[in-house]
Each structure stands twice: as structure tokens, then as C-alpha cells.
Amino acid sequence: MNPTIRTQGLTKRFGRTLAVDHIGMAVPEGSIYALVGANGAGKTTLIKLLMNILRASAGHSVVLDLESRRLTGRAFERIGYVSENQELPEGMTVGAMLDYFRGFYPTWDKALERQLVRQFDLPLKRRLKHLSRGMKMKAAFASSLAYRPALIVLDEPFSGLDPLVRDELIEGLIERAPETTIFLSSHDLAEIESFSSHVGYLQSGRLLFSEEMAVLGDRFRDVTITLGSPAALPADLPATWLEAQTADCVVGFVHSGYSDDAPRELAARFPNARDIAFEPMTLRQIFLAIAKNGRVAQGSSSHDNSTRETSARQGLTQEKEA
């Protein structure tokens, strides 16, 4: 089965700024892929490259078996794209917009349209320019789901929305999940954790990891080691240990390469350990650990970015490489 989206060496420069840096990724068909990263990490740029809104400086990407740069016209009959920055035909009413878009899609499902209108409680006779931000986003969702696209691409779709609207949108999205591939960017980790099947982490334009959510959850552990006596951190910390610190007799770190062998390996490294505790981590905790690790590395070795990135990638992609 071909991935719905795949990229290779995808790069985008804006002058001297490297916004997207040699990204290679694959989004499996039927997955709900969440692209996470801090503001300015390059998520929107990456999505615009995939959607042929921007042109890549190097590398290439394939979406639904079509080169992104050839993604025009009829190719969008199979893609639903919603972005927080996307403009809508503001002069139209919601009903007129749906009527208008209906003419572009042979697969438009009028029954589904009615269902979405009901589900999102859309005011058909109100002009889009008079709608709240949440309502506009719901209208955009409805107009992008009603034709049952094979791929739904969402760029920060929940940003700035109240929890109620977010829940409604997520619910609408999850209902479509069995028949489509969903690719969304967000920094709202708590939400995407609840329904994403895959996650990719983008930092400063580079994809630090891209894997299944379950595998990621298995790979990261919050480790607390209680020692028999106070001890300093070993000098040769593995790259997979993030945020390592020690206080008195306790050593703590985030293990980004946790496996069944980890307890035995740690017991061997800390022979005077009285207790070794492994706590599963939420996506938010994983994200923060990675982000902090990146910042610390950036601060300590800003003169040598390549070292930092190499170190971070070595640790964070260990599972994938394995």
C-alpha cells in the first residue's frame, strides 16, 4: 500500500532562512497523522509545499500518487484542505458557499452535507463575513468533508477555538476517519493525542521523528532512579536520555529509547540503585522534553548546530532506525 503522502529531501528556503530542511516522511493510508512542533517550526510551510501552494527549493513530495507540483485542478477533488489562515468567500452565505463548492466535486454527498450542517449547527443564510471564527472553521470543515475526500489536510485547525467548537470539529473529523487519511498540524498536543494514530515532530524545519503514536508512547518513559548514596551523573550519558538531572540520591531523565531491556541496562549502569521507576508519558510531556532538550542543546552549543541536531536525531530517531 503506497503512503498517501511521502516526501524526500523536501526543502524550502525563504532567502537565507531555511524553513523546511530536507524532510523525508511517509503518511500511511488511513492514518491520522499529527504534525507537531513549536510555532515557527515549519509546519505550515511543509503543508503548503505538499498542497502546491508553495514551490519547493529542493526535494520532492508525492500526495495521492501525484507529485505535489502537479497538484492542481481536478487533483483537489480528492483533497480537503482547511487552514486557520485560509480565506473564505466572505461575501457569500454559508448556504451559497456550499452550493457553489458542490459544483466542483463529482463526489459531493448532499446527504452528508445536510448532516454536517446539522452537526455543526451552521446558519445557512448568514454571510461568512458575519460569522465567528469558530463558525467559519466549521463551515470550512463542512465544505471540505462533504465530498468524502481521500485526504484531509488541516493546518492548525483548532487554533484559537473554544473547547466546545474543538470537540465538535474533532467529532466530525473522527467520523470521517475510517474512509480517509487525515494529516493535520497542531501544537495542541492534548487534543491530537486523543485521536491521532501517527505523529511527526518538526523542529526548526527538521523532522526529528515520525512514527506511530503507540510506538512513540512505548519508546518514551519518565525514569526515576533512587540510588543508595548520592552520585554525580555519568559523563557518557546516552543520547537517548533527555533532561537528565540528579538531586541527592535521585537521578531522573526522560528515556527516549525505552525497551524491555531498559530495566536491565539501567541496573547494570547504576549497580547501587535501590529502585528504578518507569512512568509512561503523555504526548505533551514527550513534546516538552524534546523541546527543552532542543533548547538546552541550542543554548549550550549554538556555535555548532550540526552537533546538536545530530545528537538530538541520534536519540530521538533511535527507535525508527532500529
Partner 1 sequence: MNQTLHIFAKDARRFWAEIFISVALTAAFVSIGRYLWTGAESYSAGSVGVLAILLGMLVPVSWWILITRGIQAERLVGDTQFWITRPYRWDRLLAAKVLFLLVFLYVPYFIAQCLLLVEAGFAPQDSVAGLLFDAMLLTGVLILPLAAIATVTSNFARMTLTLLGILLGFIALAIAGSTGFSKQGGGPESSVGISICFVLAAVFVSAAILLQYSLRRVWVTRGVLLALPVLLLSALNFASKYDQAQVDRIYPAALGATPIQLAYSPSTGGHEKVTLRASSSAMVPINLRFAETGIAEGYAVMPDDVRVEISAPDGSHWNTDWLRGGGYRFLRGESQFTEGISMPKAIYNKYKSMPLSVHVDFAITQAQAGKVTAVPMPLERVSVPELGICTPINWTQELGQAVGLHCVAAVREPQLTYISTRWSEGPCSGAPTAPDAGTIGTGWAGSLDPTPGQLNLYPIVDLNVNLSNSHVQEANGGSHYLCVGTPVAFTQYKAVRRMQTSVDIKEFHLPPISVAGNMITITQ
Shortest approach of partner 1 to residue 111 CB, angstroms?
21
**Residues in the chain, total:** 322
Q: Can you tell me the distance from the alpha carbon of 266 to that of 243, in angstroms, rounded to the nearest whole number?
A: 16
Contact 189, 117 (CB under 8 A): no
C-beta of 134 vs 294, nearer to partner 1: 134
Establish if 307 lies at the interface with partner 1 (CB under 8 A). no
Q: Give the cell for residue 164.
A: 466546545
Establish if 14 lies at the interface with partner 1 (CB under 8 A). no
Window 237-266: residues binding partner 1 (CB under 8 A): none
Establish if 271 lies at the interface with partner 1 (CB under 8 A). no
Window 61-120: residues binding partner 1 (CB under 8 A): 72-77, 79, 81, 83, 85-89, 91-92, 96, 100-101, 103-105
Q: Can you tell me the distance from the alpha carbon of 20 to that of 35, in angstroms, rounded to the nearest whole number?
A: 13
| Residues 6 or more apart in contact with residue 34 via CB below 8 angstroms | 184, 185, 186, 192, 196, 198, 199, 200, 213
Contact 197, 169 (CB under 8 A): no
The residue range among 47-55, 198-206, 264-272, 283-291 that interacts with partner 1, by the rule CB under 8 A, is 47-55
Establish if 276 lies at the interface with partner 1 (CB under 8 A). no
Establish if 278 lies at the interface with partner 1 (CB under 8 A). no
Shortest approach of partner 1 to residue 217 CB, angstroms?
33
**DSSP secondary structure of 7-47:** EEEEEEEETTEEEEEEEEEEE-TT-EEEEE--TTSSHHHHH
Shortest approach of partner 1 to residue 12 CB, angstroms?
12
Shortest approach of partner 1 to residue 101 CB, angstroms?
7
Establish if 123 lies at the interface with partner 1 (CB under 8 A). no
C-beta of 129 vs 292, nearer to partner 1: 129
Nearest to 38 by CA among 173, 206, 237: 206
Shortest approach of partner 1 to residue 98 CB, angstroms?
12
Give the count of residues interacting with partner 1 (CB under 8 A): 26
C-beta of 23 vs 97, nearer to partner 1: 97
Q: Give the cell for residue 57.
A: 527549493
Shortest approach of partner 1 to residue 71 CB, angstroms?
9
Establish if 180 lies at the interface with partner 1 (CB under 8 A). no
C-beta of 65 vs 304, nearer to partner 1: 65
Q: What angle do CA 146, 152, 158 make, to 5 degrees?
A: 95
Nearest to 25 by CA among 67, 62, 79: 62
Q: Which amino acid is it at 216?
A: L
DSSP-derived pairing of the beta strands 17-27 and 32-36: unpaired
Contact characters 188-207, partner 1, x per CB under 8 A: --------------------
Contact residues toward partner 1 (CB under 8 A) are 48, 51, 53-54, 72-77, 79, 81, 83, 85-89, 91-92, 96, 100-101, 103-105
